[in-house]
Amino acid sequence: MSDQNPSKHTKSHGRKTMRPTLKPRELMTHQPDLARAWQAQVITLFPGAFPGVLGESLTGKAHKEGKWQLSTVDLRIFGEGKHRNVDDTPAGGGAGMVMRPDVMGHAIEHALRRAPGPLVYLSPRGKRFDQQMARDWAELPGITMICGRFEGVDQRVLDHYNIAEVSLGDFVLTGGEIAAQAMLDATVRLLPGVLGNAESTVDESHSDGLLEHPQYTRPADWEGHEIPPVLMSGHHGKIAEWRREKSEELTQQRRPDLWAKHKDQE
Instruction: Return binding residues for S-adenosyl-L-methionine.
Output: 148, 168-173
**From candidates 152, 158, 186, 189, binder to ligand SAH by CB under 6 A:** 152
Q: Which is nearer to ligand SAH, 174 or 215 (CB)?
A: 174
Q: What is the C-alpha to C-alpha distance for residues 43 and 77, in angstroms, rounded to an integer?
A: 11
Between the alpha carbon of residue 173 and those of residues 122, 187, 262, the distances in Å are 10, 20, 31
> By C-alpha distance, which of 197, 104, 173 is closest to 144?
104
171 binds ligand SAH (CB under 6 A): yes
CB of 97 to ligand SAH, least distance (A): 10
Cα dihedral sign for 156, 159, 164, 170? Answer: positive
123 binds ligand SAH (CB under 6 A): yes
Q: What is the C-alpha to C-alpha distance for residues 214 and 249, in angstroms, rounded to an integer?
A: 11
**From candidates 52, 55, 90, 175, binder to ligand SAH by CB under 6 A:** 175
CB of 127 to ligand SAH, least distance (A): 10
Q: Which is nearer to ligand SAH, 65 or 130 (CB)?
A: 130
Residue type, 248: E
- Asked if residue 141 has a cis previous peptide bond (ω within 30° of 0), the answer is no
Q: Which is nearer to ligand SAH, 99 or 250 (CB)?
A: 99
Q: What is the C-alpha to C-alpha distance for residues 237 and 181, in angstroms, rounded to an integer?
A: 38
**From candidates 24, 47, 117, 176, binder to ligand SAH by CB under 6 A:** 176
Q: What is the DSSP letter of 226?
A: E
Q: What is the C-alpha to C-alpha distance for residues 140 and 154, in angstroms, rounded to an integer?
A: 27
Residue numbers belonging to the annotated binding site: 148, 168-173
- Which residue number has the CB closest to ligand SAH? 148
**From candidates 104, 173, 190, 194, binder to ligand SAH by CB under 6 A:** 173
149 binds ligand SAH (CB under 6 A): yes
**Beta pairing class for 164-167 and 119-128:** parallel
CB of 53 to ligand SAH, least distance (A): 16
**Binding footprint of ligand SAH on the chain (CB under 6 A):** 122-125, 147-149, 151-152, 167-169, 171-173, 175-176, 179
